[in-house]
Structure 1
């Protein structure tokens, strides 16, 4: 009972980030910014407008809450990334929860390029993310998951992950992906129907009128590191690797092949 009381009274991280971007004087600029708790944003000098999100608590564990909301006005072009890999640590008190919503007005574009999420053994995470497009707005979105750090000899055997990703256009879903990883999936990880022995995997989705035009470049960049398809105004690529570093290299080649301009500086450190 004493142990139960102690763990229930542990401090929990809370983070809230609200940002709005406007188009002014021919450029995308921050129009409003509210940040509280462990959620912070940096706006480094960059060729375009770039926002780097960081979690000052150092990672996520049971009971933590992060809430992010970003809006873009017409004509804005924004890149959102993270300072470093997010880490979901062992949980003894339920799930950590992350919610993120990005809303784009007509004519806006978002590159959502967070760095990896590393899942540690016994971590528990519920993450819900949505990009709401209006009119002809477009986006490029990457999500990468890594099961433990191979260099540290870590093995993930127990996991509770629910990862919901959704893109809508004018309220109608155009891309929906619900990922669930638990002990049963990990136990069958060597199967080709699940992870095929890989501990690092990523999804890239581009939603734009010309997305299909990038398919040949995407496949050439991927080579044997993944697969890509394009249909109905979207391109989707899947990548898997035995560890995070080779996956990162393959993903960087893919992004460079289909996205103009350099990757965010934090990706290159």
Structure 2
């Protein structure tokens, strides 16, 4: 598959993840050392790149423009038919649209935050051929929030997960909500997030999980490259050992050797 192949993404499903950072070159050095990623330029400009694993797209990385208040963070994007319509739904439900929708490459994008402060993106248009849980893409997206069931209603209303036409469905399993695209779990929503928690791992946020073959090697490389590592119990429906890594710029992501649900 060509890394430049663009397709119509499944509406309502995650279609990309992107890292915002203050220094693009430093981010490439860190993730290249830790995750063995390579990088190529993107059509959006010099401050953007696409991370590759085995020549396949993994994620986008963008340097924050001077003067922007955008946080350093990993952000999932969800495919929508009309970014203006979904942005209006976000506002109608008491949440926030911080940027956009604006034209970007092959489509239009917006950055938003849900009612508990977890940040996510909207994408209208074609995207790279990329699916959570397949190939080089992230193994799972996990929302840790105040109330998983309230969050599930919010996102279902945005992305039409409950409609008969949707290719995504929501399953309620004990204390968590699992979003499936067909038979594949692409996102898990779990309760327990605390808005005022000083630890950003505990505050409501979307966590991006990447699969690695050797957790010890990955975490050792992260520390050597200036990051910090916190081992955690498996969560979000994943199995096997996990660790949360904070890169030198402060962005958090999770690595594990297990598979998603």
- Larger Rg computed on CA atoms: 1
TM-score normalised by the chain length of structure 1: 0.31
- The structure that is strand-richer by fraction is 1
TM-score normalised by the chain length of structure 2: 0.32
- RCO greater where, 1 or 2, for CA within 8 Å and sep 6 or more? 2
